[in-house]
Amino acid sequence: MMYLNKYTYNYFLFLFAIIPITIIMGSAVSLINILLIDLSFIILLVYKKNFFFLKNKTINYLFILYVYLVFNSFISIDYSENILRNLGFLRIIILFFAFNYFYHQKFFFDKMFKSWLIIILIVIFDVFVEFFYGKNILGYSGAQYNNRIVSFFEDEPIVGGFIYCFFLILIGFLTNERKKHKHYIFLLITIFLVSIFITGERSVSLKALFGIVIFFLLYKEIDLKKKISFISLIFFIILISVLNSSLKDRFTNQVVEQKSFYFELYQSGFQVFKNNKIFGVGNKNYRIETCKQNEVISTNNKDRYICTTHPHQIYFELLSEHGVIGSIVILLIFYKLIISKIIKTSLEKNYLKVGSLIYLTLEFLPIIPSGAFFSSFNLTLFAINLSILYASDKSLNVFKLK
C-alpha cells in the first residue's frame, strides 16, 4: 500500500469526515460528496496503477448485484422510475472500495471517526433541545408529524435512523481504542440510546436496543454480571424516559392502533408479489403499481393494493419489486457478504467490526417495519456500515496489505 502526500490525504479525509453533514443537508448534497470521493478515488487508482484488488471475490458479489439491478431496470413496469437509481448503485460500490483503501492510511480512520463523533454528538444535543423546547436550535419542529423530532432534517422525522447508523460503529471504535475508560463509553451508550428513543422512531429504537444488547453479549472484557446490570440499567432509563413523556402514547397506544395498518401494507406488498411472482414490478415501481387509479385486485378489501411508496418491510419490498428470482439473488449476495461473517466476527475482539455487523444484520429482521432499502438515505447508511465491516478486518479488506 502506497501512502499519500499530505495534500491528497487531507483532501480525502475532509470528504470522508463530512459524510454525516452531507447526509443531513439532503440526498443531493450527499450524492455530490460521494461522487467527489468516487471520482477522486478512481483518479488516484489510475495514478497509482493500483488495480490488484479487482481480483478479490468480494468484488464479484458486488458487481453481480449491480448487473442484476441494471437488468431489473429493463424488466420493470416503468424503467424510467428506477434506471438512474439502479445505474447509480455503482457509486456505492466505488465508495466501498474507497473505505477499504483509506483504512490503511495512517490515522485516517481515527481522525474520521473522531470527526463523526463530534458531528453526531451535536445532532444528539439538538435532539434533546427539540425534545424539551419543541424546536431545535435552528427553529425546526416536527409539528406536522405529531411533534416527532426532526432536528436538522427539518421536514423528515429520520434523525433517529441517522444517529442509529453511526451508533454501533462509533461505540465499537471507542471500545477498541478506549478499553481503559469503558465507564465513559457506557454513559455515551445511554445518551445515544435515549436520543434515539425520544425521536419516536419505533422500529429504529427497537433495532438500537437489540443491537446494544447483542454488542454487550459479545463484549468479552466484562463479566456476565456487569453485562446484565448495565443492560438492566439501560432498560430502566429508557422505560422512565418513555413513560414519563409525550412518547408514552406513541410507544404504547399507537403501536396497537397502527398494527392493523402495517399488516394491510404487508398484505398489499404480498398481493403485488402474487401478481408479479418471477421478477416483481421493478425497483422503485411499487408506487407505480399500487397507485394506479381505480386499481382494485378484487372486491375483497384484503386483496386491495394500498397506494404508497413501498410496503414498509424489507422482505415484502424485495418480493414485490424483485420477485422470487431477484429476491434470491439479492439475499444470497447479502448472505455471502454479511450473514456468513457472523460466527467468525462473534469470536473476535474487533468491536468496530462487531458494531457494523450488528447494524447490517438487524436490517434484515422480519416483521419490523423498515424504510425503502434502495432509497438514497437508507442505502447510504447501509453502505457506510458494510464498508467499515470489510475495511476494519485485515482478512476481509479488499486492499489487503502484501
Give the pLDDT confidence score for residue 355 in this predicted structure.
96
Query: Average pLDDT for residues 3-27, to the nearest whole number?
Result: 93
> Is the pLDDT confidence value at 179 over 70?
no
Give the pLDDT confidence score for residue 401 in this predicted structure.
56
Give the pLDDT confidence score for residue 181 in this predicted structure.
60
Give the pLDDT confidence score for residue 1 in this predicted structure.
54
Q: How confident is the model at residue 12 (pLDDT cuts 50, 70, 90)?
A: very high
Give the pLDDT confidence score for residue 90 in this predicted structure.
95
Is pLDDT larger for residue 351 or for residue 179?
Answer: 351
Q: Phi and psi of 331, rounded to 5°?
A: -70, -35
**How far apart (Å, rounded) are the C-alpha atoms in residues 320 and 317?**
5
Give the cell for residue 213.
444488547
> Is the pLDDT confidence value at 30 over 60?
yes
> Is the pLDDT confidence value at 9 over 90?
yes
Lowest mean pLDDT, pick from 30-39, 58-67, 251-260, 373-382: 251-260
**Alpha helices by DSSP H, 244-372:** 247-251, 253-275, 286-290, 314-337, 342-346, 351-362
User: pLDDT digits over 104-130, tens only?
Assistant: 888 899 999 999 999 999 999 999 999
Buried b (16+ CB within 10 A) or exposed e, 244-277: ebebeebbeeeeeeeeeebeebbbbbbbbbeebe
Give the pLDDT confidence score for residue 300 in this predicted structure.
46
Give the pLDDT confidence score for residue 298 in this predicted structure.
43
Residue type present at position 308: T
Q: Calculate the average pLDDT of the chain.
A: 88
Give the pLDDT confidence score for residue 299 in this predicted structure.
40
Looking up cell 408479489 gives 273
> Is the pLDDT confidence value at 2 over 70?
no
Q: How confident is the model at residue 297 (pLDDT cuts 50, 70, 90)?
A: very low
Lowest mean pLDDT, pick from 146-155, 300-309, 386-395: 300-309
Q: How confident is the model at residue 158 (pLDDT cuts 50, 70, 90)?
A: very high
> Is the pLDDT confidence value at 6 over 90?
no
Looking up cell 459524510 gives 19
Q: What is the DSSP letter of 5?
A: P
User: pLDDT digits over 185-209, tens only?
Assistant: 888 998 999 999 989 888 999 999 9
Longest dimension (CA), the chain: 68
Say if residues 130 and 136 touch (Cβ distance below 8 Å). yes
User: pLDDT digits over 43-94, tens only?
Assistant: 999 988 877 777 788 999 999 999 999 999 999 998 888 888 889 999 999 9
Q: What is the DSSP letter of 276?
A: S
CA 327 to chain centre: 19
Say if residues 308 and 323 touch (Cβ distance below 8 Å). no
Query: Average pLDDT for residues 148-165, to the nearest whole number?
Result: 92
Q: What is the DSSP letter of 3?
A: P
User: pLDDT digits over 229-241, tens only?
Assistant: 888 888 887 777 6
> Is the pLDDT confidence value at 219 over 90?
no
Give the pLDDT confidence score for residue 26 in this predicted structure.
93
Query: Average pLDDT for residues 290-319, to the nearest whole number?
Result: 73
Among candidate residues 306, 322, 311, 304, the one with its CA nearest the CA of residue 369:
311
User: pLDDT digits over 335-379, tens only?
Assistant: 999 999 999 999 988 999 999 999 999 999 998 888 889 999 999
